[in-house]
Structure 1
């Protein structure tokens, strides 16, 4: 009859399930050692054997060992593990456990039997939950390299795990773990088309870094990085290896190629610089910003050329061609002088369909080509200038227009501003105006540190320190709109005296 414990021959069985003692493996000396009786292989006897038992300590059977023995007995276990061969399930679990427990630099041959047992316990926590658990472990390893310098690849990040699955000399199929690992790599690490990932060629690039995208598109990497930050594709101060989805990256790159810098806008629009500022103030053109709201040095650097073309195109579409200058018709800037309104109001009137007599002079481009009747502008002046403009309202609140529009975008939340839109006859264009009473009410109810500093002749830093010491919390953070706002009623009267 067969004698001995057959399950002890399995490499995954490292603990006696009866006595909960770690098993010791004797190195094979001769080729026929496995055929000999146990008492010949183990020469220790009596006290010496008892001492070995005491030194061994105690530990419960690992869940991986328990799973293997139960599976051999025909008992079903976790679905993903059961779908693998027994060797695949065991190897995947232990290798993943090595990565999580000991890190990517661990050399597998240096692991002791106890080390492999611990790896199996750790890995089973993830493989027992199938693909979800495996991805969780692999993505947690990726996050450890979020702030790494340079561009670490899969071999650097996953080390021993990558080598075991990607460069194993064994011809055994590693199972579904290879597919999951391959997908995690291609979903998170930028690689060019043609790269082999665990034996499978990447047919097309899925991710870019700033450097690889800049090289592909022939752009300056610093400018591209700034615009990617402004577009929300990458975070501010993103590491060099931060992955960028190819399609999103190329869309932003195409915008960079169309950029018109702010200082060049008067020439691109054929208008004076004050009107450019008014376009920004009323959001008729959208600046591309570098930096987050509230960051020192955050400036508007450029505008998409396509947006400029759209604005000029819409204005010219409202106009009738004119061969030569005609008495009674003047340029937009001249009409604003005669009607005593900002030039942006005249532009709004054209876009909103308020003016019937709009012409475009041949031989000129952009805003300078437009001609209107100043008397007609005067007729609509009162209706189109009700309340405050965005520029006037933001000046009243002593905040930058970016902060002002951030408050508008928050409406109808507590700390926000509402727009009183003026709709043109054609209904397709709206003029942003603001109720002076609502602006005054906002100013009375909320205050930011710079305003407090000005009122009490203090440094802004000192105001912030006093607010922190007093425990007063802001109702709107600087991160959200660029300025921290506090309720006026929450401030003690003697706090800044």
Structure 2
């Protein structure tokens, strides 16, 4: 063992310590010193176990202390660093890395020391002085020994110039995490569940995507760029999957309005490619699974598509084009119905994703579409009854046809919904072989009782009528026969207040707006609906209290009614409201029309 014994600095690398021993005991360079004591120089440069053991015996320093500050090779381009397996790319080699301020302090007190932290590529800022570390490219062959006394010629004023040139900055939280982890301290749960290299790689690559965008070429990034990327990425990876998803989904949203059908490589660019083709990291870790999930959840891809090495077993999403092709439908009609079903926005781009089953359900509806113009024939009833069935929500309209084009937006109904309505009516009826003098069709009974035809339909479905028959050989509502006298007896019970048609007519709004107001109940701007329940409580008859409707009409008003009341054009009403700064109590985006409180309208506003 050498004497005198030179203390080992806990922050020093074994290679630096060996160089100090050489300087103190021989006054010469490291290579000759190692040869003199039977230590293979290249083994020492590589921190091989045999070289470290010989150095421990020579210096009297515990082998564990030396090994803790070295990346010890355990396989081809694989190293053990304090129990963490890392690849060669994780290390700063072949660069010599140093802090000029640390070297200046060493110059004042003795021999220069190389810190073990500086050997890590992720360590780019001096934790003591808060300045960027200097990365010196490989020069002569003996640079592999990183002898700071010789390969960093700057001293005195020249070294001070390097210090002044450095821009102060705080240590990246990403760098701090790595050092804490190597010191045995726990960190964020998700990061700690990855290997150290996976955690570092995921953080930096995500930071590159967020900070520099998907088109950034990774080889063009400098050390300071990677340091910045690490800081940005750590904001997300430190919060685990939730944070990572937040960053990736935000990146995805940037392509919401992109033309064409951008894929994962277009959207995530360098981030996706690095995870798909990493040379330094065969298994990228959980970050790949998270990105794969994001891709599968947002991009329509056919079965068999490979996403980061995993084959998609079945399609999860459709676009309008792919759904139309699979279902053999006209894409324009399908798109319009998808908009009406709120599965896609009105101006959705071509790549907008549609959930597989929901898309198929809508496609099935399109195949079952019956145009409103055909409903009187299909239902076998008069057109006024069709309108009443829509008004009372006994039929649900399917809208299609592009808004803004010439002509009205078309409406249709699902054939299955029609069949269900007619089926329920027929189920209430007893089959009749021939006409009976005491029985009449629904329309005739309504005429005799002086009620809308839909009221008779309600009476049948609600179980109010006992004498309901279905004429054999006829279809639809026209086949139903009822006793007009029985209809008259239940007229008062089943015709309370205002019907839906009477309510929206009184308020001068469409039936769609009326029902949206009903759906908002009991919000301030809403309408309450009442129900009549008969013997069959599965069916209810709606009615509106005239006092409630009148009260709503007194308290709230919409621009079309204001224009009618004051003999103005609609645009002029809107302009005056805007100039006075009158805010609506309910926005049109919610119910289809702006509603204003009448108390907010000054008397001189429209005079």
Same fold (TM over 0.5): yes
Structure 1 residue 375: deviation in Å? 2.5
Cα distance, 1:77 vs. partner?
A: 2.1
Equivalence map 1:181-192=2 (5 Å): 181-192=291-302
Could you say what secondary structure the match of 1:302 adopts?
strand
Q: How far, CA to CA, are the matches of 1:18 and 1:489 in structure 2? A: 68
Whether 2:565 is the aligned partner of 1:455: answer yes
The match for 1:257 is 367
Query: Aligned-pair distance for 1:261?
Result: 1.3
Alignment of 1:156-195 (within 5 A): 156-170=266-280, 172-195=282-305
What's the CA shift for 1:46? 4.6
Q: Give 3-state SS (helix, strand or coil) of 2:466's partner.
A: coil
User: Structure 2 length normalisation: TM-score?
Assistant: 0.78
Give the direction of change, closer, same or farther, for the CA distance of 1:70–1:444 in structure 2 (3 Å limit): closer
Task: Tell me what 1:154 maps to.
Answer: 264
Q: Which runs of 5+ in 1 are unaligned?
A: none
Equivalences for 1:467-482 in 2 at 5 Å? 467-482=577-592
Q: In 1, distance between residues paired with 2:506 and 2:594?
A: 17
Q: Give, in whole Å, the separation in 2 of the partners of 1:76 and 1:292.
A: 58
Please tell me whether the aligned partners of residues 236 and 291 of structure 1 are also in contact (alpha carbons under 8 angstroms).
no
User: Given the alignment of the two structures, is residue 372 of structure 1 paired with residue 482 of structure 2, yes or no?
Assistant: yes
Deviation at 1:342, TM superposition (A): 2.0
In 2, the alpha carbon distance for the partners of 1:44 and 1:89 equals 36
The 5 A counterparts of 1:92-111 are 92-111=202-221
Which segments of 5 or more consecutive residues in structure 2 lack a partner in the other structure?
1-16, 20-113
Query: How far is the alpha carbon of 1:158 from its aligned partner?
Result: 0.5
Q: Which among 439, 443, 463 is matched to residue 353 of structure 1?
A: 463
Please give the alpha-carbon distance, in whole angstroms, between the structure 1 residues aligned to 2:18 and 2:185: 24
* Partner in structure 2 of residue 123 of structure 1: 233
Note the C-alpha offset of 1:365.
0.6
CA distance in 2, matches of 1:231, 1:434: 28
Check 1:158–1:36 CA distance in 2 against 1; reply closer, same or farther (3 A cut): closer
The 1-side partners of 2:546 and 2:147 are apart by 99
1:132-164, CA deviations, whole angstroms, 9 ceiling, x for partnerless residues?
221111111111112212211110111000010
Candidates 53, 59, 70, aligned match of 2:169: 59
Q: Please report how far the alpha carbon of residue 323 of structure 1 lies from its aligned counterpart in structure 2 after TM superposition.
A: 1.4
- Give the 3 Å change call, closer, same or farther, for CA 75–353 of structure 1 in structure 2: closer
Separation (CA, whole Å) in 2 of partners of 1:36 and 1:330: 106
Distance 1:414 1:295 in 2: 36
SS of aligned partner of 1:268 = helix
- Flag the 1:56–1:384 CA change in 2: closer, same or farther, 3 A: same
User: Is 1:133 aligned to 2:149, yes or no?
Assistant: no
Query: Is the contact between residue 333 and residue 401 of structure 2 (CA under 8 Å) also seen in structure 1?
Result: no
Distance, in Å, in 2 between the alignment partners of 1:148 and 1:385 is: 54
Flag the structure with larger Rg: 2
Against the structure 1 CA distance between its residues 315 and 465, is the aligned structure 2 distance closer, same or farther, given a 3 Å change threshold?
same
Residue in structure 1 matched with residue 186 of structure 2 by the alignment: 76
Root mean square deviation of aligned Cα = 2.3
Matches within 5 A, 1:172-251: 172-251=282-361
Aligned equivalent of 1:289: 399
* Equivalence for 1:415: 525
Contact 2:442–2:478 under 8 Å retained in 1: yes
Query: Is residue 2:516 matched to residue 1:406?
Result: yes
Secondary structure at 2:411's aligned position in 1?
strand
Q: Equivalent residue for 2:18?
A: 2
Please give the alpha-carbon distance, in whole angstroms, between the structure 2 residues aligned to 1:69 and 1:412: 58
Q: TM-score, normalised by structure 1?
A: 0.94
Decide which moves more: 100-109 or 35-44: 35-44
Check if 1:487 corresponds to 2:487: no
SS where residue 432 of structure 1 aligns? strand
Contact 1:350–1:358 (8 Å) recurs in 2: yes
Cα 1:389/1:18, change in 2 over 3 Å? closer
Deviations 1:391-423 (A, max 9, x none): 112111111111112222222222222223222
The answer for the alignment partner of 1:311 in structure 2 is: 421
Q: Which has the higher contact order (CA 8 A, sep 6+)?
A: 1
Question: Shift in Å at residue 385 of structure 1?
Answer: 2.1
Q: Are the equivalent residues in 2 in contact too, given 1:419–1:432 (CA < 8 A)?
A: yes
Aligned counterparts of 1:415 and 1:68: Cα–Cα separation in 2 = 57
Inter-partner Cα distance in structure 2 for 1:53 and 1:30: 25
Distance 2:536 2:193 in 1: 65
Aligned residues between the structures:
497
What is the alpha-carbon distance in structure 2 between the residues aligned to residue 331 and residue 246 of structure 1? 44
Deviation at 1:45, TM superposition (A): 4.7
Shift in Å, 1:298: 7.8
Deviation at 1:171, TM superposition (A): 5.4
- How far apart, in 2, do the equivalents of 1:327 and 1:385 lie? 26
